[in-house]
Amino acid sequence: MPAASRTIRLVDIAREMGVSRPVVAAALFDSGGNTRVSPALAARIRATAARLGYRPNAVARQLKTGRSRLIGVVIGADNPQVNQTRLLQLEAEAFRRGYRLLIAYLHDMRESTALMADFVARGVEGVFWLHLPFCLEQPPKAAIFKQLPRVIFNEERWCPHGGVIRIDYAGGIHQAVHHLAARGHRRIGMMLAGRGGWPGDPILARLRGYQTALRELGLPGGRSHVWFGDSPDPAASAIDAALAELLDRRRVTAVIASNDQWAAETIKALRRRGLRIPEDVALVGFDNDDLARRLDPELTTVDHNHDLFVQRALELFERLAVTPAAAADEILIPARLVVRQST
Amino acid sequence: MPAASRTIRLVDIAREMGVSRPVVAAALFDSGGNTRVSPALAARIRATAARLGYRPNAVARQLKTGRSRLIGVVIGADNPQVNQTRLLQLEAEAFRRGYRLLIAYLHDMRESTALMADFVARGVEGVFWLHLPFCLEQPPKAAIFKQLPRVIFNEERWCPHGGVIRIDYAGGIHQAVHHLAARGHRRIGMMLAGRGGWPGDPILARLRGYQTALRELGLPGGRSHVWFGDSPDPAASAIDAALAELLDRRRVTAVIASNDQWAAETIKALRRRGLRIPEDVALVGFDNDDLARRLDPELTTVDHNHDLFVQRALELFERLAVTPAAAADEILIPARLVVRQST
DNA sequence: CTGAAAGCGCTTACAG
DNA sequence: CTGAAAGCGCTTACAG
């Protein structure tokens, strides 16, 4: 265990140089109150600090200033791929802006109270709540966010003072339907992994985008060409039931799957039926998971635009510090159709 | 911004109850020094704390005690799937043991000094360094870990006082070869996404496991049946070159891919050649990424055993606090062959 | 069983 | 341009 010898403090440098602590602080950081120090002295102080191996104590600073440069992030088990990719991008953008992320993985909504209490205790400057509750699950209670001045949600505002960033699921599906229509498809079916539990549920947004596009294009279908599943899990039996409905009964020539995982299982099921993609049936996914481009055929899907999401998220986060009312702003991230081989 | 009214401190409760701070601390936590307090008073204090909405200030506590219950985690871009899954599991296990994770995504090795300095400044109790450097990349310098008393690495000990946890890549490949041999394969090829840059590089371990198994089984091949790539990216051209070598020249009937991403691209390439999996060519991946079971055919692959990894990692982490010499222990996590349809 | 005091390492007004 | 002092909210030895 090296260098455990003695932690170097600001005062140690001050003593060594025969100056006061504020002088050292002014030389090393922007702090030091009104204290100003000559460039020459500042340079000497920095040299000494480097020689002694001085490391500022962020904890002491935080205690004094109340600023932690720490953001709590709650991620869920709801869509591992999407959340994990987004988390890493979020970290990159947060780091660029001088923040660090404290992560909490929400396994069970009952843990949420303790998680938020811990975030408060650690003085996070705000929380990104990226977990989407399933329809089976209780949404988070607004009370748990009370002591967190800045909270940003994904899709749904779970407490009155929180901001929300939404992905344009409806727009993504809308693009997909138009794309399929342009490829000549007139009977377009959709499979959804659930029925939608709360107002902002992406399941409902997908349905909206689908129906709007069909109407615009004058295509048949609507709810009748949508298969609703009961579980988020793309079990083979569920896929087979969906295809029996959509292909056999409704004679669709294109299927929009609930997400890329469902699409991957649909590829298997279509191959079991001896159908070619996209010649016999076109297929669209959602999420643009890493797997989408690894599938055979490579999957046409809708991308979440994580880049823009994390940028807007951090912009909003910084704006909330100045203007809490900015939480009411509507932020919608456009989704992007990524065309590959499956359509 | 609710409840920003006034933060409740220990001293506020003490005043309200007409007792001293240590008494309150003793009632609410295990702390309070020698102070003991009667159960009846403790109950009243807890009730008051709850009524006032008291939240302990972890930062003040950390400044005084030096304990942060915080672990820094460095994850890299080297294998997103593996690292992301592992990160989430690590978080779960850490939380169970009362720790929280501070994450840092390493985009560029030049950032590593600043990252470690920030971890030191924030008083993390240790670091899990999960990033594996590519052969093209500088390994981390030992000096950057100097002020971190507890460091745990994956695969390779990058500073003398750090502990290491290794995945048994060699054992995983060894299982794969034996499995293929049991299926009747005698010419087994391997494709590796690189040549291995540093002693603990998993590429070299895979090669070792492969050669040992071939020798045990008296099978032909060895290095001659291994194709070495130049890039971690499974480009179609690389896959085609590998198959030209392994299938056309060496006439192998089974291929062990560098990882699941390479395996996914190999599935496409084999289908382009009109070959069936596993009838014409058997295929094994590595990592057991989420995509492995979504591919068609579902992929036989080697699982990292993340459960055990994170458990052993946290055990070692806690042991290092008491016995720094435990860092020298060899910890090897057995990998598990997961047999699916591709073999 | 209880309280007053010191101190963790910073920052920040304030006085010189 | 510089220094002495107070204080962020806790914990902990020590004295009563």
Q: Which residue of A has its CA nearest to B57?
A: A121
User: Token pair of A337, please?
Assistant: 């159709």
Q: Are residues B162 and B232 in the same domain?
A: no
Alpha carbons A60 and A76: distance in angstroms, whole number: 32
A154 SS3 class: strand
Residue B342 lies in a domain: no
Mean pLDDT of chain B: 91
What's the pLDDT at B31?
A: 64
A197 SS3 class: coil
Span A1-31, pLDDT tens digits: 333 456 888 888 888 888 888 888 888 887 6
Look at the block and give the residue holding tokens 């994990």. Answer: A84
Alpha carbons A3 and A264: distance in angstroms, whole number: 53
Residue B166 pLDDT greater than 80, yes or no? yes
Q: Are residues B191 and B292 in the same domain?
A: yes
Span B294-320, pLDDT tens digits: 999 999 999 999 999 999 999 999 999
What's the pLDDT at B2?
A: 37
Q: Which residue of B has its CA nearest to A122?
A: B58
Alpha carbons A270 and A295: distance in angstroms, whole number: 13
Task: Suggest the residue from B296, B310, B341 to mutate for an interface test with chain A (most A CBs closer than 10 A).
Answer: B296
Span A201-221, pLDDT tens digits: 999 999 999 999 999 999 988
What's the pLDDT at A154?
A: 93
What's the pLDDT at A97?
A: 93
B70 contact residues in A (CB cutoff 8 A)? 102
Q: Are residues A34 and A71 in the same domain?
A: no
Residue A342 lies in a domain: no
Count of the separate structural domains present in chain B: 3
A118–B58 C-beta distance less than 8 A: yes
Average pLDDT over residues A274-281: 98
Q: Are residues B81 and B199 in the same domain?
A: no
Q: Are residues B156 and B174 in the same domain?
A: no
Q: Are residues B227 and B144 in the same domain?
A: no
Average pLDDT over residues B107-130: 92
Q: Per-residue b/e over A143-170, b at no fewer than 16 CB within 10 Å?
A: ebbbbbbbbbbbbbbbbebbbbbbbbbb
Distance from the Cα of residue A248 to its chain's centroid: 37
Q: Are residues A135 and A72 in the same domain?
A: yes
What's the pLDDT at B1?
A: 34
Decide which of A53 and B33 is more confident: A53
What's the pLDDT at A12?
A: 87
Span A168-201, pLDDT tens digits: 999 999 999 999 999 999 999 999 999 888 888 9
What's the pLDDT at A3?
A: 39
Q: Which stretch of DSSP H or E encloses residue B126? A: strand B126-129
The answer to whether B15 faces chain A, any CB pair under 8 Å, is no
Name the A residues in 68-127 with CB < 8 Å from any B CB: 68, 70, 75, 80-81, 84-85, 87-88, 91-92, 95, 100-105, 107, 117-118, 120-123
Name the B residues in 119-158 with CB < 8 Å from any A CB: 120-123, 146-147, 149
Alpha carbons B82 and B76: distance in angstroms, whole number: 10
Span A219-247, pLDDT tens digits: 988 899 999 999 989 999 999 999 999 99
Neighbours of B33 (CB within 10 A): 8
A290–B291 C-beta distance less than 8 A: yes
CA of B63 to C1' of C7 (A): 10
Task: Evaluate if the CB of B61 falls below 7 Å from strand D.
Answer: yes
Question: For position B86, which CATH number holds?
Answer: 3.40.50.2300
Average pLDDT over residues B210-227: 94
Alpha carbons A199 and B53: distance in angstroms, whole number: 31
What's the pLDDT at A108?
A: 85
Q: Are residues A252 and A282 in the same domain?
A: yes
Task: Evaluate if the CB of A38 falls below 7 Å from strand D.
Answer: yes
Residue B26 pLDDT greater than 60, yes or no? yes
Considering CB atoms only, which of B59, B105, B271 is closest to A62? B59
CA of B33 to C1' of D11 (A): 7
pLDDT band at A77 (very low <50, low <70, confident <90, very high): low
Residue B173 pLDDT greater than 90, yes or no? yes
CA of A14 to C1' of C10 (A): 13
Q: Are residues B52 and B130 in the same domain?
A: no
Residue B1 lies in a domain: no
Positive or negative: CA dihedral A323, A325, A330, A336: positive
Protein residues in reach of strand C (CB < 7 A): A 7, 9-11, 21-22, 25, 29, 31-35, 54-57, 60-61, 63-65; B 18-23, 33-38, 41, 60, 63-64
Residue A253 lies in a domain: yes
Considering CB atoms only, which of B55, B146, B291 is closest to A294? B291
B68–A147 C-beta distance less than 8 A: no
Residue B190 pLDDT greater than 80, yes or no? yes
B68 contact residues in A (CB cutoff 8 A)? 59
What's the pLDDT at A32?
A: 62
Q: Are residues B267 and B182 in the same domain?
A: yes
A28 contact residues in B (CB cutoff 8 A)? none
Q: For residue A15, what are the domain limits?
A: 10-56
Considering CB atoms only, which of B2, B59, B104 is closest to A122? B59
A290 contact residues in B (CB cutoff 8 A)? 80-81, 291
Question: For position A50, which CATH number holds?
Answer: 1.10.260
What's the pLDDT at A33?
A: 65
What's the pLDDT at B33?
A: 65
Q: Are residues B175 and B265 in the same domain?
A: yes
Residue A143 lies in a domain: yes
Residue B4 pLDDT greater than 50, yes or no? no
What's the pLDDT at A1?
A: 34
DSSP single-letter state for residue B94: H
The answer to whether A341 faces chain B, any CB pair under 8 Å, is no
Among all strands, which nt has the closest C1' to B121 (CA)? Answer: C9
B178 SS3 class: helix
Alpha carbons A16 and A52: distance in angstroms, whole number: 10
Span A99-156, pLDDT tens digits: 999 999 888 888 899 999 999 999 999 999 998 887 678 889 999 999 898 999 999 9
Residue B85 lies in a domain: yes
The answer to whether B4 faces chain A, any CB pair under 8 Å, is yes
Average pLDDT over residues B109-116: 90
Residue A61 lies in a domain: no
Residue A78 pLDDT greater than 70, yes or no? no
A121–B56 C-beta distance less than 8 A: yes
Distance from the Cα of residue B104 to its chain's centroid: 13
B118 contact residues in A (CB cutoff 8 A)? 58, 100
What's the pLDDT at A212?
A: 97
Mean pLDDT of chain A: 91
Neighbours of B12 (CB within 10 A): 17
Span B39-98, pLDDT tens digits: 888 888 889 898 888 888 999 999 999 899 999 999 886 677 777 888 889 999 999 999
Residue A273 pLDDT greater than 80, yes or no? yes
Q: Are residues B48 and B100 in the same domain?
A: no
Residue A219 lies in a domain: yes
